[in-house]
């Protein structure tokens, strides 16, 4: 039995519910999804400032959470990923990181399609930091509705020659199957990718290193 703690770093409960639903759809039979909402901080995370303001609420929520075996940070900016790894030796996975790593194993290059133009530099920063800049052709944003998301996906396929599409936010989970069928390329949702990675990491007994930058804080 694996207990995965999914933390929504914003304070919007309805978002947490949506993420929890998505996670439960992909979780194994033996996995319990524990979804929690940050108790303080911004109602949604749009760029660097919101990321920063959400951190103590996010970290406190993890510290006060029920028993768990691994943690998913359910914000596509991977907010607080390094800090959360210092809370204990439990593995912590970000949904952006998870999606990029999965995408790099099923395609030569992918594009990210997100909604907010403001978030693009933060995502590019993460890709660069993870050493995955060469796999990602472009981070595209569409500040709008479903129609525009689809236009961006089409451009990613035709113009970027992306072989896969990473959806750059935590709220699009239920669109994956239909988008993938419609466009003929894999479409990845970070929540699903992170849940799958956490299950795997826990099953094979890996823990966050207790030495160096992620040593548990006292």
Shortest distance, position 147 Cβ to a second copy, whole Å:
21
Q: Does 182 bind a second copy (CB under 8 A)?
A: no
By CB under 8 A, residue 209 contacts a second copy: yes
Kindly state the number of chain residues that form the binding site for a second copy, as judged by CB under 8 A: 81
Rule CB under 8 A: which of 75-114 touch a second copy?
A: 80, 82-83, 85-87, 91-93, 97, 101-102, 104-109
What residues between 112 and 131 interact with a second copy by CB under 8 A?
Answer: 117-122, 124-125, 128-131
Calpha distance 141→47 (Å, rounded): 13
Q: Which of 134, 174, 178, 182 binds a second copy (CB under 8 A)?
A: 134
Output the six-digit token pair for 24. 């439960």
DSSP states along 45-113: --SHHHHHHHHHHHHHHHHTSPS-SEEEE--TT-TTHHHHTTS-SS-EEEHHHHHHHHHHHH-S-EEEE
- First and final CA of the chain: distance in angstroms? 28
Burial class (CB in 10 A: 0-12, 13-18, 19+), 157: middle
Distance between CA atoms of 51 and 68, rounded to whole angstroms?
24
Closest distance between a second copy and the C-beta of residue 192, in Å?
A: 4
Q: Which of 32, 48, 65, 151 binds a second copy (CB under 8 A)?
A: 48
Closest CA to 3 of 189, 194, 202: 202
Q: Does 1 participate in binding a second copy (rule CB under 8 A)? A: no
User: Could you tell me if residue 47 is left (phi over 0), alpha (psi between -120 and 50 degrees) or otherwise beta?
Assistant: left
Please report, for residues 27, 58, 147, the alpha-carbon distance to residue 101 in angstroms, rounded to integers and kept in the order given.
18, 23, 27
Binding mask 152-171 for a second copy (x = CB under 8 A): -----x---x-xx-------
From candidates 45, 113, 170, 185, binder to a second copy by CB under 8 A = 185
Answer for the pair 62, 90: CB distance below 8 angstroms, yes or no: no
Residue 39 within binding range of a second copy, rule CB under 8 A: no
Q: How far is the CB of 161 from a second copy (least distance, A)?
A: 7
The one segment of 11-19, 43-51, 146-154 that binds a second copy by CB under 8 A: 43-51
The answer to the question of residue 181 lying near a second copy (CB under 8 A) is: no
Give me the least distance between CB of 73 and a second copy, in Å please.
Answer: 12
Shortest separation between residue 5's beta carbon and a second copy, angstroms: 16
């Amino acid at each position: 039995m694996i207990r995965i703690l999914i933390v929504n770093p914003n304070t919007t409960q309805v978002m947490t519910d949506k993420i929890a639903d998505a996670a439960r759809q992909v979780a194994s039979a033996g996995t319990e999804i524990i979804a929690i909402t940050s108790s303080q901080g911004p109602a949604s995370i749009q760029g660097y400032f919101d990321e920063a303001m959400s951190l103590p609420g996010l970290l406190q929520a993890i510290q006060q959470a029920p028993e768990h075996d691994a943690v998913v940070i359910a914000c596509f900016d991977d907010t607080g990923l390094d800090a959360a790894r210092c809370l204990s030796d439990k593995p912590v996975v970000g949904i952006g990181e998870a999606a990029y790593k999965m995408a790099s194993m099923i395609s030569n290059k992918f594009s990210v399609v997100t909604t907010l133009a403001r978030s693009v530099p933060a995502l590019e920063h993460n890709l660069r930091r993870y050493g995955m800049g060469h796999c990602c052709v472009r981070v595209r944003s569409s500040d709008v509705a479903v129609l525009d998301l689809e236009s961006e996906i089409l451009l990613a396929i035709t113009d970027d020659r992306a072989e896969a599409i990473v959806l750059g936010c935590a709220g699009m989970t239920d669109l994956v199957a239909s988008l993938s069928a419609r466009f003929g390329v894999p479409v990845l949702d970070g929540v699903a990718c992170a849940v799958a990675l956490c299950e795997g990491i826990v099953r094979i007994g890996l823990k966050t290193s207790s030495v160096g930058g992620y040593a548990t804080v006292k």
